[in-house]
Each structure stands twice: as structure tokens, then as C-alpha cells.
Amino acid sequence: MTAQNRPDTRPEIVAIGGMADWMLAELRLRYRVHDLAAATDRTGLLAQAAQARAAVTTGAVGIEADTVRRLPQLAMLACFGTGYDKVDRAALAQRGIALSNTP
């Protein structure tokens, strides 16, 4: 069986936004990345990413409650860069979703 015929078993993550191309490239080596910033159909992408258990974002972009709601399996959000003011911490806390911040 060729590599093209094998199912992609890498864990799924959602890249919310603010990532440089090199960061996305590194993430894609290890994960199936659903790139929300590049999506032309945000609703469709979030539906495709419904099984993702992790998401990444930057302090400048954060995550909104609506996005959290549309990711029913989300268990962890990694936020990097200065601050996390744009992260809806209440939406994460309500669902018991872990938040990490790397300045």
C-alpha cells in the first residue's frame, strides 16, 4: 500500500490564526492542521474539524466563544505570543478546556 492510500492518522488541530507560514509548516509535520485563517468557508472548516481536540492561536488573535462552541471535542487551547486578552476564557472554563500560554 502506498503512502497516498493510507488514512492520515495524525492528530487533528485547528490553527485559529496569527501563525507564520513556517509555524504552520512545522505543525503540519505532526498534525492534520485545519487552518481557520485560510478558510474561505469558516463554518465548513469548523464542521470538518469537529473532532479536533486541540487548537493553537496567538495572543493577538485569540478565540471567540462561537468558535469554541463549534469545536465540540476541543480539550486544549495553546496560545503563544504576548497576552491572551482575546481568548474567551469564560467559554473555555465553561467546558473545562485547558489553556496554555507561552509568551
**What is the model's pLDDT at position 62?**
96
**What is the model's pLDDT at position 5?**
80
2: cell is 502506498
Could you report the per-residue pLDDT of 21-77, keeping only the tens digit for each?
A: 999 999 999 999 999 999 999 999 999 999 999 999 999 999 999 999 999 999 999
**What is the model's pLDDT at position 6?**
86
Instruction: Specify the CATH architecture of the domain 9-102.
Output: 3-Layer(aba) Sandwich (3.40)
Q: What is the pTM of this model?
A: 0.89
18: helix, strand or coil: coil
Domain boundaries in the chain?
A: 9-102
- Cβ atoms within 10 Å, residue 21: 7
